[in-house]
Amino acid sequence: MNKKVFLRVLFAIVFFLGISACNLSNGIISRLQSAAPWSSGNSKYAQERVLEDISCPESFQEKQTILKKAHLTSGGRMTLKAGSNPSMPCGWEVPDIGDPEVITQVDHDTEWPAEGVTPKPGAPGTEVWIFEARGEGQTVISLSCHCLDDQGEEEQLQGTLEIQIKVKE
């Protein structure tokens, strides 16, 4: 290989690695920004909160934990909308609620991209959980994203979503 071809190939590799590093850092920055508490007007406590833009396994890199925060008033509700892609095969585990005296799950459903149409097996959708704040306090809701290994036998953790909940009367 002559020197000019070698230098062009080297330049191309360095260029694409630089672009990849920029895209990776933008993803990390957006995840850090999304970890900020939700706020509504002058009060950070609200009756309704919606958390979305999380997907299993696309939102996770190397078994990471994504942290979100929610501040609710007692009796308030939080809706979690999380993408799921069973064709990979990946999915969300049942939410683990640290203190059910502070918040409880009141509903769970799956939304499909086309309403009124029966989805094909393995089609991506959105899982929707609704939680209700019961009393003052703090707790954590954890959801784990798992995928089957290449043989389709053993579950492997892809990442965990942790939602820190603070409820005030």
Structural contact between residues 94 and 67, judged by C-beta atoms closer than 8 angstroms: no
pLDDT value of residue 121:
72
Q: Alpha-carbon distance 42 to 47, whole Å?
A: 14
Provide the residue-wise pLDDT of the chain in tens; the chain has 169 residues: 566 655 565 555 654 455 444 444 334 333 333 333 443 344 678 888 899 889 998 898 888 999 999 999 999 999 999 998 777 788 899 999 999 999 999 999 988 877 777 777 777 889 999 999 999 999 999 999 998 888 878 788 889 999 999 999 8
Structural contact between residues 26 and 18, judged by C-beta atoms closer than 8 angstroms: no
